[in-house]
Amino acid sequence: MRFADSSISSAFGFLSSNLAHIESEVYAIEYPEYKYSKFVPIDDTAPAYSPQVVRRVIDYRGGLKPRSPYGTDVPTSDVAQKAEFKDIHTFQNGYQFTIEELEQARLGMVTLDTERAQAVRATSEASTNQIMLLGALKDDDGVTDLALVGEGLFTSPSVPVSTSAGKIEEIVSAGGEKMAQAVLNIFNAAYNSVYLDQTKTVHKPNTFAMPSSTLRLLGSTLLGPNNGSNFTLLQFLKANYPDVDFDDDIQLEHAGTAGARRMICYKKDKRIVRGHMPMPLTFQAIEGPNNMAFYVPAMCRTGGVEWRVPKAANYVDGI
């Protein structure tokens, strides 16, 4: 005769022995469609359970001043300091197996499938992508904010916004000899806004990120369709900006004001912008049984994106 407590114990032991295999399978899978780690330098140096990240902001004041040979006053320089705080938030996910599923797999000597754990990681990566790029955890409808976290790489209110001189789709559709120059002017304006106007040549942008449809259009439009050129507009732009990365993200299709297409020109550098992730997605100890099921919780802790030098970026709406 078998007792319920022995079934629970064997199910728990079977699940425990399979977790190492499940987690190794899950962490081996890459999710290239979620590009937040490509766009945002990730800072994971804070302790995992820190409630806040604190940084000191230092400003130097003073400078050289004219002095008479008979002067007695010596000009001095000084340091002004202040502390800034970034809250860290906890998020959870997880999966479960019923006791029946565990016992059937154990008796059949079948390894537990990894699909549920993979679903946890995939959905968690999608949520983290929203937090880092849009500054909010979205509901399943993709619109409603469940939590506002950080500033968002694409949506920070502290980053200056400009309006594109024209829509690239319309410029390409019109064609003509001035097409390439009109497109280049849009990128020049964004670059110069950061480098010349906003940071006074202190910070050079190194990344253009634009809607996926825009990058695709630039990469498939020939520079001179009437003269047999096989040089695309994207190649033309890269030739003019050899030290700048050109990338895309579908979230930029409607990230601008009133849902407009948005491009961001910025300096990708941890001193400029960073994403706080003290604890990446981590599977925790088994919980249960509860309602005849064992739960494997997972959690992560993040503060989202922090723009430290927002003027080293420029949003271009209506591109």
pLDDT tens-place string over residues 307-319: 999 999 999 999 9
Rg (CA), the chain: 26
pLDDT at 288 over 90: no
Count each helix (H run) and each strand (E run) in the chain, helices first.
8, 15
DSSP states of 219-273 as a string? HHSBS-TTTT---BHHHHHHHH-TTSEEEE-GGGGS-SGGG--EEEEE---TTTE
Architecture of the CATH domain 4-60+83-151+273-307 = 2-Layer Sandwich (3.30)
| Average pLDDT of the chain to the nearest whole number | 86
- Phi/psi for 135 (5° steps) reads 75, 20
Question: Strand, helix or coil at 291?
Answer: coil
Q: In the chain, what are the domain boundaries?
A: 4-60+83-151+273-307, 166-272+311-317
Give the lowest-confidence range in 32-36, 171-175, 246-250: 32-36
Q: How confident is the model at residue 253 (pLDDT cuts 50, 70, 90)?
A: very high
Taking residues 218-237, report their average pLDDT: 84
Q: pLDDT, tens digit, for every residue of 59-115?
A: 677 788 887 777 777 788 887 777 788 899 999 999 988 888 777 777 776 667 678
pTM of the model: 0.82
